[in-house]
């Protein structure tokens, strides 16, 4: 059996660690010991580096590197955009094809706005631009020149949450929370729409609409239909918005089956199960 080489370049701590980790099979060590020792040493050092990277805010450092790399001239079709984001003046050089959502998340690290479907169908990316809600995944950053953008981070005033944020908390208007930033931004803009007297598809008579629109449950559901919640927190969301709109405490009224006829009908369906081809 060939004699194993002395790894004098290892520290005492490394030798102790390797003794615990390496197999005690001497034949295995004779054939592969040297390579395994170097491999384990590299893995140990790499693992320690990753731990340190995480401890010292690796995500922030990585995001900063990306931002600096982009600013260094790796962009194509560069355009300069000056606008306000959460009341702060911003000036960026962006790719002319970059969406507002990517500019917010990747360039300004405002990650509250979420990228859900990235096709303008779920509403998770909703932000407020000049008082109106927009889908930031379908809005080019270049089109926001001179405009004012408000994200979920900008609704807070100091340490005080926006009334809509508090209402969502009080009514459990979220579960997983992924769609919540878009839901809240959409709800805040919806309130301004109602104050301006803007009508919706379910408004009874658009000719008589004037002044502030009173938001019924049906109105709220219609106006919020572009914001999807896969957790199904819709009743709580409606209650949260209605409470802010009316300024009065709102309690949910759960509807139960009251008529015996309806009970019998459901009972019949349950008994038939999947045997009835008409179900």
What values do phi and psi take at 165, rounded to 5?
-65, -45
Under CATH, what is the fold of the domain 163-246?
DNA polymerase; domain 1 (1.10.150)
In the predicted model, what is the mean pLDDT of residues 12-27? Answer: 62
Residue 101: pLDDT band with limits 50, 70, 90: very high
Identity of the highest mean pLDDT range in 37-41, 57-61, 219-223: 219-223
Q: C-alpha distances in angstroms, 117 versus 95, 135, 136, 228, 229? A: 21, 11, 12, 11, 12
How far apart CA 179 and CA 124 sit, in angstroms, is 5
Query: Could you tell me how many residues make up the chain?
Result: 279
* Helical ranges in 22-149 per DSSP H: 26-55, 58-69, 100-102
User: Which of 10-24, 117-131, 155-169, 206-220 bottoms out in mean pLDDT, i.e. has the lowest?
Assistant: 10-24
Two tokens, residue 82: 């000056």
Q: How many CA atoms lie within 13 A of 242 on its CB side?
A: 18
DSSP string covering 248-269, please? S-----------HHHHHHHHHH
pLDDT grade, residue 279 (50/70/90)?
very low
* Same CATH fold assignment for domains 72-153 and 163-246: no
Q: What is the pLDDT of residue 214?
A: 85
Least confident of 15-24, 59-68, 88-97, 145-154: 59-68
pLDDT grade for 77, boundaries at 50, 70 and 90: confident
pTM of the model: 0.66
What does the alpha-carbon distance between residue 122 and residue 137 come to, in Å, rounded to a whole number?
10
Q: Provide mean pLDDT across the span 114-118.
A: 95
Q: Are 149 and 129 in contact (CB under 8 A)?
A: yes
Q: Which of 9-23, 169-183, 194-208 has the highest mean pLDDT?
A: 169-183
pLDDT classification of 103: cutoffs 50, 70, 90 = very high
Selected residue with higher pLDDT from 207 and 23: 207
CA–CA distance, 144 with 83 (Å, rounded to integer): 7
Q: What percentage of the chain has pLDDT greater than the value 70? A: 65
Q: How far apart are CA 142 and CA 133, in angstroms?
A: 17
Residue 153 half-sphere exposure, CB side, CA atoms within 13 Å? 14
Considering only residues 117 and 42, tell me which one the structure prediction assigns the higher pLDDT.
117
pLDDT over 50 at 38, yes or no: yes
Q: Which residue has the higher pLDDT, 277 or 106?
A: 106
Report pLDDT for 267.
59
Strand order from edge to edge, sheet including 148-150: 88-95, 78-85, 148-150, 126-129, 132-135
Q: How confident is the model at residue 249 (pLDDT cuts 50, 70, 90)?
A: confident
- The pLDDT-based confidence of 140 (bands split at 50, 70, 90) is very high
| Domain residue ranges in the chain | 12-55, 72-153, 163-246
Per-residue pLDDT averaged across 220-229, rounded? 95
Strands 148-150 and 78-85: parallel
Fold of 72-153: Ubiquitin-like (UB roll) (3.10.20)
Instruction: Give the contacts of 131 (CB within 8 A, at least 6 positions apart).
Output: 189, 192
Compute the mean pLDDT over every residue in the chain, rounded to the nearest whole number. Answer: 80
Res. 187: pLDDT tops 60: yes
Q: Residue 278: is its pLDDT beyond 50?
A: no
């Amino acid at each position: 059996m060939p004699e194993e080489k002395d790894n004098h370049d290892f520290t005492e701590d490394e030798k102790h660690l390797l003794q615990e980790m390496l197999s005690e099979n001497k034949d295995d060590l004779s054939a592969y010991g040297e390579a395994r020792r170097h491999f384990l040493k590299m893995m140990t050092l790499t693992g320690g580096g990753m731990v340190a990277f995480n401890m010292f805010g690796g995500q922030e450092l990585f995001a900063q590197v990306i931002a600096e790399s982009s600013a260094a001239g790796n962009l194509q079709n560069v355009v300069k955009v000056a606008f306000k984001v959460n009341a702060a003046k911003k000036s960026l050089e962006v790719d002319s094809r970059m969406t507002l959502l990517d500019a917010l998340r990747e360039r300004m690290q405002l990650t509250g706005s979420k990228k859900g479907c990235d096709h303008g169908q779920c509403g998770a990316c909703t932000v407020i631009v000049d008082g109106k809600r927009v889908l930031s995944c379908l809005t080019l950053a270049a089109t926001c020149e001179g405009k004012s953008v408000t994200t979920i981070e900008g609704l807070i005033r100091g340490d005080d949450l926006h009334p809509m944020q508090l209402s969502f908390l009080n009514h459990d208007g979220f579960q997983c929370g992924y769609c919540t930033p878009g839901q809240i931004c959409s709800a805040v803009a919806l309130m301004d729409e109602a104050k301006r007297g803007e009508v919706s598809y379910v408004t009874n008579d658009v000719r008589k609409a004037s002044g502030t629109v009173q938001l019924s449950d049906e109105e709220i559901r219609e106006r919020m239909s572009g914001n999807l919640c896969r957790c199904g927190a819709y009743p709580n969301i409606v209650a949260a918005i209605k409470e802010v709109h009316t300024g009065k405490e709102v309690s949910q009224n759960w509807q139960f089956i009251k008529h015996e006829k309806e009970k019998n009908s459901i009972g019949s369906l349950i008994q038939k199960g999947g045997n009835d081809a008409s179900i």
